[in-house]
Structure 1
Amino acid sequence: MSLRNYSLATIDDFIGRQLGVSDWVVIDQSRIDAFAQCTGDTQWIHVDVERARRESPFGGTVAHGYLTLSLVAPLAMQIGLIPDGVSAGLNYGLDKVRFMTPVKAGARVRNRVTLMSVERKGGGSVIVKVMNELQIDGTDRPALIAETLAMLVARHACAEPEAGAV
Protein backbone atom coordinates (compact mmCIF):
# COMPACT_ATOMS: atom_id res chain seq x y z
CA MET A 1 0.00 0.00 0.00
CA SER A 2 1.24 3.48 -0.76
CA LEU A 3 0.35 6.66 1.12
CA ARG A 4 -0.36 9.66 -1.08
CA ASN A 5 2.62 12.05 -1.31
CA TYR A 6 4.50 10.06 1.34
CA SER A 7 8.19 9.68 0.52
CA LEU A 8 11.56 9.97 2.17
CA ALA A 9 11.69 13.58 0.93
CA THR A 10 8.28 14.50 2.43
CA ILE A 11 8.27 12.27 5.51
CA ASP A 12 8.66 15.24 7.90
CA ASP A 13 5.26 16.53 6.72
CA PHE A 14 3.64 13.40 8.16
CA ILE A 15 4.91 13.78 11.74
CA GLY A 16 1.96 13.62 14.12
CA ARG A 17 -0.34 12.14 11.48
CA GLN A 18 -1.96 8.74 11.35
CA LEU A 19 -0.39 6.86 8.46
CA GLY A 20 -3.13 4.26 8.27
CA VAL A 21 -4.81 1.18 9.66
CA SER A 22 -3.86 -2.34 8.58
CA ASP A 23 -6.14 -5.16 7.59
CA TRP A 24 -7.50 -7.45 10.29
CA VAL A 25 -5.42 -10.55 11.15
CA VAL A 26 -6.86 -13.57 12.97
CA ILE A 27 -4.87 -14.86 15.92
CA ASP A 28 -6.03 -18.47 15.85
CA GLN A 29 -4.86 -21.32 18.06
CA SER A 30 -2.60 -22.73 15.35
CA ARG A 31 -0.67 -19.43 15.18
CA ILE A 32 -0.39 -19.37 18.98
CA ASP A 33 0.85 -22.99 19.01
CA ALA A 34 3.41 -22.28 16.27
CA PHE A 35 4.73 -19.27 18.21
CA ALA A 36 4.95 -21.39 21.37
CA GLN A 37 6.97 -24.04 19.54
CA CYS A 38 9.23 -21.45 17.95
CA THR A 39 10.00 -19.64 21.21
CA GLY A 40 9.74 -22.47 23.72
CA ASP A 41 7.06 -20.58 25.67
CA THR A 42 4.55 -23.40 26.10
CA GLN A 43 2.82 -22.03 29.19
CA TRP A 44 -0.62 -23.66 29.53
CA ILE A 45 -2.53 -20.39 29.26
CA HIS A 46 -1.39 -20.24 25.63
CA VAL A 47 -1.43 -23.87 24.47
CA ASP A 48 -3.64 -26.03 26.70
CA VAL A 49 -7.12 -25.30 25.35
CA GLU A 50 -9.03 -27.48 27.84
CA ARG A 51 -7.16 -26.29 30.91
CA ALA A 52 -7.44 -22.66 29.81
CA ARG A 53 -11.19 -23.12 29.30
CA ARG A 54 -11.46 -24.41 32.91
CA GLU A 55 -8.89 -22.30 34.76
CA SER A 56 -8.02 -19.17 32.80
CA PRO A 57 -9.62 -15.89 33.86
CA PHE A 58 -10.09 -15.25 30.12
CA GLY A 59 -12.23 -18.33 29.44
CA GLY A 60 -9.74 -19.85 27.03
CA THR A 61 -6.25 -19.55 25.63
CA VAL A 62 -4.66 -16.20 24.89
CA ALA A 63 -1.86 -15.16 22.55
CA HIS A 64 1.61 -14.50 23.89
CA GLY A 65 2.28 -10.81 24.40
CA TYR A 66 5.38 -11.14 22.24
CA LEU A 67 3.34 -12.79 19.50
CA THR A 68 1.10 -9.73 19.36
CA LEU A 69 4.18 -7.47 19.44
CA SER A 70 5.72 -9.42 16.56
CA LEU A 71 2.77 -8.44 14.35
CA VAL A 72 3.39 -4.71 14.72
CA ALA A 73 6.20 -4.42 12.14
CA PRO A 74 4.60 -6.40 9.27
CA LEU A 75 1.26 -4.67 9.78
CA ALA A 76 2.97 -1.25 9.78
CA MET A 77 4.70 -2.21 6.54
CA GLN A 78 1.33 -3.28 5.12
CA ILE A 79 -0.02 0.25 5.48
CA GLY A 80 3.05 1.70 3.76
CA LEU A 81 5.39 2.83 6.53
CA ILE A 82 8.35 2.21 4.23
CA PRO A 83 8.02 4.79 1.44
CA ASP A 84 9.24 4.62 -2.14
CA GLY A 85 12.92 5.42 -2.47
CA VAL A 86 13.89 3.29 0.52
CA SER A 87 16.01 0.20 -0.07
CA ALA A 88 15.50 -1.25 3.43
CA GLY A 89 13.51 -0.70 6.59
CA LEU A 90 15.30 -2.12 9.64
CA ASN A 91 14.05 -2.61 13.19
CA TYR A 92 16.00 -0.15 15.31
CA GLY A 93 14.39 -0.68 18.72
CA LEU A 94 11.49 -0.02 21.03
CA ASP A 95 10.99 3.02 23.23
CA LYS A 96 7.82 1.92 25.01
CA VAL A 97 5.59 -1.14 24.98
CA ARG A 98 2.51 -1.73 27.09
CA PHE A 99 0.43 -4.90 26.89
CA MET A 100 -3.06 -3.60 27.66
CA THR A 101 -5.53 -6.40 26.92
CA PRO A 102 -4.99 -10.13 26.34
CA VAL A 103 -5.83 -11.37 22.85
CA LYS A 104 -8.05 -14.44 23.03
CA ALA A 105 -7.50 -17.25 20.56
CA GLY A 106 -9.65 -16.60 17.49
CA ALA A 107 -9.68 -12.81 17.91
CA ARG A 108 -8.88 -10.40 15.08
CA VAL A 109 -6.32 -7.62 15.49
CA ARG A 110 -5.15 -4.71 13.36
CA ASN A 111 -2.54 -1.98 13.70
CA ARG A 112 -3.26 1.76 13.76
CA VAL A 113 0.00 3.54 12.91
CA THR A 114 0.94 7.17 13.68
CA LEU A 115 4.30 8.76 12.79
CA MET A 116 5.74 10.39 15.92
CA SER A 117 9.15 11.66 14.85
CA VAL A 118 11.84 11.59 12.18
CA GLU A 119 15.57 11.84 12.86
CA ARG A 120 17.71 12.36 9.77
CA LYS A 121 21.00 10.49 9.64
CA GLY A 122 23.93 10.65 7.26
CA GLY A 123 23.64 9.20 3.78
CA GLY A 124 19.96 10.07 3.44
CA SER A 125 18.79 7.53 5.99
CA VAL A 126 16.32 8.35 8.75
CA ILE A 127 15.15 6.87 12.02
CA VAL A 128 11.39 7.05 12.43
CA LYS A 129 9.49 6.64 15.67
CA VAL A 130 6.01 5.22 15.20
CA MET A 131 3.12 4.78 17.62
CA ASN A 132 1.45 1.42 17.03
CA GLU A 133 -1.94 0.63 18.53
CA LEU A 134 -2.79 -3.03 18.04
CA GLN A 135 -6.58 -3.04 18.21
CA ILE A 136 -8.78 -6.03 18.99
CA ASP A 137 -11.99 -6.37 17.00
CA GLY A 138 -15.01 -5.76 19.24
CA THR A 139 -13.14 -4.25 22.19
CA ASP A 140 -12.44 -0.67 23.20
CA ARG A 141 -9.03 -1.28 24.76
CA PRO A 142 -6.09 -2.15 22.51
CA ALA A 143 -4.05 -5.32 22.87
CA LEU A 144 -0.94 -3.18 23.09
CA ILE A 145 0.58 0.16 22.38
CA ALA A 146 4.17 0.29 21.22
CA GLU A 147 6.54 3.06 20.22
CA THR A 148 8.82 1.42 17.68
CA LEU A 149 11.89 2.71 15.91
CA ALA A 150 12.87 1.85 12.36
CA MET A 151 15.84 2.92 10.29
CA LEU A 152 14.87 3.67 6.70
CA VAL A 153 17.87 3.34 4.39
CA ALA A 154 17.70 5.51 1.29
CA ARG A 155 18.10 3.91 -2.10
CA HIS A 156 20.99 5.51 -3.94
CA ALA A 157 20.72 5.81 -7.71
CA CYS A 158 23.50 4.06 -9.59
CA ALA A 159 25.14 6.09 -12.29
CA GLU A 160 24.52 4.87 -15.82
CA PRO A 161 27.71 3.87 -17.62
CA GLU A 162 28.86 6.38 -20.21
CA ALA A 163 28.39 5.51 -23.87
CA GLY A 164 31.19 3.26 -25.08
CA ALA A 165 32.25 2.29 -21.53
CA VAL A 166 32.99 -1.36 -21.01
Structure 2
Amino acid sequence: MSIANYRIDTLGDFVGRELGVSAWVVVDQARIDAFAACTGDRQWIHVDVERAEREGPFGGTIAHGYLTLSLLASLAMEIGIVPEDASAGLNYGLDKTRFMTPVRAGARVRNRVALTSVEHKGGGRILIKATNTLEIEGEERPALIAESLAMLIAGSPS
Protein backbone atom coordinates (compact mmCIF):
# COMPACT_ATOMS: atom_id res chain seq x y z
CA MET A 1 0.00 0.00 0.00
CA SER A 2 1.16 3.52 -0.71
CA ILE A 3 0.58 6.44 1.65
CA ALA A 4 -0.28 9.65 -0.22
CA ASN A 5 2.61 12.16 -0.26
CA TYR A 6 4.72 9.94 2.04
CA ARG A 7 8.29 10.28 0.79
CA ILE A 8 11.79 10.64 2.20
CA ASP A 9 11.58 14.44 1.96
CA THR A 10 8.13 14.60 3.63
CA LEU A 11 8.67 12.17 6.52
CA GLY A 12 8.70 15.00 9.05
CA ASP A 13 5.17 15.98 8.00
CA PHE A 14 3.92 12.59 9.18
CA VAL A 15 5.37 12.61 12.71
CA GLY A 16 2.55 12.19 15.20
CA ARG A 17 0.19 10.85 12.55
CA GLU A 18 -1.24 7.41 11.96
CA LEU A 19 0.21 5.91 8.78
CA GLY A 20 -2.42 3.22 8.44
CA VAL A 21 -3.88 -0.06 9.57
CA SER A 22 -2.99 -3.44 8.09
CA ALA A 23 -5.35 -6.16 7.02
CA TRP A 24 -6.38 -8.77 9.56
CA VAL A 25 -4.12 -11.83 9.91
CA VAL A 26 -5.22 -15.12 11.50
CA VAL A 27 -2.92 -16.49 14.18
CA ASP A 28 -4.01 -20.11 13.97
CA GLN A 29 -2.59 -23.18 15.69
CA ALA A 30 -0.59 -24.14 12.59
CA ARG A 31 1.25 -20.78 12.72
CA ILE A 32 1.84 -21.18 16.45
CA ASP A 33 3.17 -24.72 15.96
CA ALA A 34 5.46 -23.58 13.13
CA PHE A 35 6.85 -20.80 15.32
CA ALA A 36 7.43 -23.30 18.14
CA ALA A 37 9.27 -25.62 15.75
CA CYS A 38 11.38 -22.78 14.40
CA THR A 39 12.35 -21.34 17.80
CA GLY A 40 12.33 -24.44 20.00
CA ASP A 41 9.83 -22.78 22.36
CA ARG A 42 7.40 -25.65 22.88
CA GLN A 43 5.85 -24.51 26.16
CA TRP A 44 2.56 -26.37 26.59
CA ILE A 45 0.46 -23.18 26.77
CA HIS A 46 1.32 -22.70 23.09
CA VAL A 47 1.37 -26.19 21.58
CA ASP A 48 -0.60 -28.65 23.75
CA VAL A 49 -4.19 -27.89 22.77
CA GLU A 50 -5.82 -30.44 25.07
CA ARG A 51 -3.79 -29.45 28.13
CA ALA A 52 -4.27 -25.74 27.44
CA GLU A 53 -8.03 -26.26 27.21
CA ARG A 54 -8.03 -28.32 30.41
CA GLU A 55 -5.48 -26.48 32.57
CA GLY A 56 -4.69 -23.17 30.92
CA PRO A 57 -6.04 -19.82 32.07
CA PHE A 58 -7.19 -18.81 28.56
CA GLY A 59 -9.41 -21.75 27.55
CA GLY A 60 -6.95 -22.92 24.92
CA THR A 61 -3.55 -22.25 23.44
CA ILE A 62 -2.12 -18.79 22.96
CA ALA A 63 0.47 -17.42 20.55
CA HIS A 64 4.01 -16.80 21.71
CA GLY A 65 4.62 -13.15 22.55
CA TYR A 66 7.56 -13.11 20.16
CA LEU A 67 5.38 -14.58 17.41
CA THR A 68 2.99 -11.66 17.74
CA LEU A 69 5.95 -9.25 17.83
CA SER A 70 7.40 -10.83 14.69
CA LEU A 71 4.24 -9.99 12.74
CA LEU A 72 4.79 -6.24 13.10
CA ALA A 73 7.43 -5.86 10.37
CA SER A 74 5.45 -7.45 7.55
CA LEU A 75 2.23 -5.73 8.59
CA ALA A 76 3.98 -2.33 8.76
CA MET A 77 5.47 -3.01 5.31
CA GLU A 78 1.95 -3.78 4.04
CA ILE A 79 0.86 -0.35 5.27
CA GLY A 80 3.79 1.28 3.46
CA ILE A 81 6.07 2.38 6.30
CA VAL A 82 9.07 2.38 3.94
CA PRO A 83 8.53 5.22 1.45
CA GLU A 84 8.60 4.17 -2.20
CA ASP A 85 11.56 6.46 -2.88
CA ALA A 86 13.74 4.78 -0.22
CA SER A 87 16.22 2.27 -1.57
CA ALA A 88 15.98 0.18 1.61
CA GLY A 89 14.37 -0.02 5.02
CA LEU A 90 16.23 -2.04 7.64
CA ASN A 91 15.07 -3.21 11.06
CA TYR A 92 17.08 -1.23 13.60
CA GLY A 93 15.57 -2.44 16.86
CA LEU A 94 12.92 -1.71 19.43
CA ASP A 95 12.77 1.02 22.05
CA LYS A 96 9.88 -0.28 24.12
CA THR A 97 7.57 -3.27 23.89
CA ARG A 98 4.70 -4.23 26.15
CA PHE A 99 2.72 -7.45 25.80
CA MET A 100 -0.76 -6.61 27.05
CA THR A 101 -3.23 -9.30 26.04
CA PRO A 102 -2.57 -12.90 25.00
CA VAL A 103 -3.55 -13.82 21.45
CA ARG A 104 -5.67 -16.96 21.50
CA ALA A 105 -5.19 -19.51 18.74
CA GLY A 106 -7.54 -18.67 15.89
CA ALA A 107 -7.71 -14.94 16.69
CA ARG A 108 -7.26 -12.27 14.05
CA VAL A 109 -4.81 -9.42 14.59
CA ARG A 110 -3.87 -6.27 12.72
CA ASN A 111 -1.22 -3.58 13.11
CA ARG A 112 -2.07 0.11 13.60
CA VAL A 113 1.05 2.18 12.89
CA ALA A 114 1.84 5.80 13.81
CA LEU A 115 5.07 7.59 12.95
CA THR A 116 6.64 8.80 16.20
CA SER A 117 9.91 10.41 15.15
CA VAL A 118 12.31 11.01 12.27
CA GLU A 119 16.04 11.57 12.75
CA HIS A 120 18.38 12.33 9.87
CA LYS A 121 21.68 10.54 10.48
CA GLY A 122 23.65 11.79 7.46
CA GLY A 123 24.79 9.95 4.38
CA GLY A 124 21.22 9.46 3.20
CA ARG A 125 20.27 7.52 6.34
CA ILE A 126 17.10 8.36 8.25
CA LEU A 127 16.12 6.66 11.52
CA ILE A 128 12.38 6.44 12.02
CA LYS A 129 10.48 5.34 15.09
CA ALA A 130 6.94 4.01 14.79
CA THR A 131 4.41 3.04 17.41
CA ASN A 132 2.85 -0.30 16.48
CA THR A 133 -0.39 -1.36 18.15
CA LEU A 134 -1.25 -4.99 17.42
CA GLU A 135 -5.02 -5.12 17.81
CA ILE A 136 -6.98 -8.31 18.43
CA GLU A 137 -10.36 -8.53 16.74
CA GLY A 138 -13.11 -8.33 19.36
CA GLU A 139 -10.77 -7.43 22.23
CA GLU A 140 -10.72 -4.09 24.00
CA ARG A 141 -7.00 -4.16 24.77
CA PRO A 142 -4.31 -4.76 22.15
CA ALA A 143 -2.01 -7.75 22.10
CA LEU A 144 1.00 -5.46 22.30
CA ILE A 145 2.32 -1.99 21.78
CA ALA A 146 5.87 -1.69 20.45
CA GLU A 147 8.06 1.21 19.41
CA SER A 148 9.99 -0.06 16.41
CA LEU A 149 13.02 1.54 14.79
CA ALA A 150 13.90 1.35 11.11
CA MET A 151 16.85 2.79 9.23
CA LEU A 152 15.79 4.13 5.85
CA ILE A 153 18.31 4.54 3.08
CA ALA A 154 17.45 7.38 0.71
CA GLY A 155 17.52 6.83 -3.04
CA SER A 156 15.55 5.08 -5.68
CA PRO A 157 15.57 1.28 -5.91
CA SER A 158 17.61 0.08 -8.87
Relative distance call for 1:150 and 1:22 in structure 2 (3 A) is same
**CA deviation map 1:72-113 (0-9, x unaligned):** 111001000000111111110100000000000000000000
Residue 155 of structure 1 and its aligned partner are, at CA, apart by 1.8
The one-letter amino acid of 1:101's match is T
What residue number does 2:107 align with? 107
What residue number does 1:130 align with? 130
What residue number does 2:29 align with? 29
What residue number does 2:45 align with? 45
The one-letter amino acid of 1:38's match is C
How many matched pairs?
A: 158
What residue number does 1:145 align with? 145
Relative distance call for 1:44 and 1:58 in structure 2 (3 A) is same
SS of the aligned residue for 2:123 comes to helix
Runs of 4+ in 1 over 6 A off after TM superposition: none
Separation in 1, partners of 2:63, 2:156: 41
SS of the aligned residue for 1:36 comes to helix
In the TM superposition, 1:54-93 aligns within 5 A as 54-93=54-93
The one-letter amino acid of 2:121's match is K
TM-score (norm 1): 0.93
What RMSD over aligned residues (CA atoms) do the two structures have, in Å?
1.1
The one-letter amino acid of 2:51's match is R
Relative distance call for 1:41 and 1:154 in structure 2 (3 A) is same
Residue 156 of structure 1 and its aligned partner are, at CA, apart by 5.6
Determine which structure has more spread, i.e. the larger CA radius of gyration. 1
What residue number does 1:162 align with? none
SS of the aligned residue for 1:141 comes to coil
In the TM superposition, 1:146-161 aligns within 5 A as 146-155=146-155
For structure 2, the residue ranges without an aligned partner over 5 or more in a row are: none
Relative distance call for 1:102 and 1:34 in structure 2 (3 A) is same
TM-score (norm 2): 0.98
Separation in 2, partners of 1:75, 1:155: 23
Which deviates more, 116-125 or 44-53?
116-125
For structure 1, the residue ranges without an aligned partner over 5 or more in a row are: 159-166
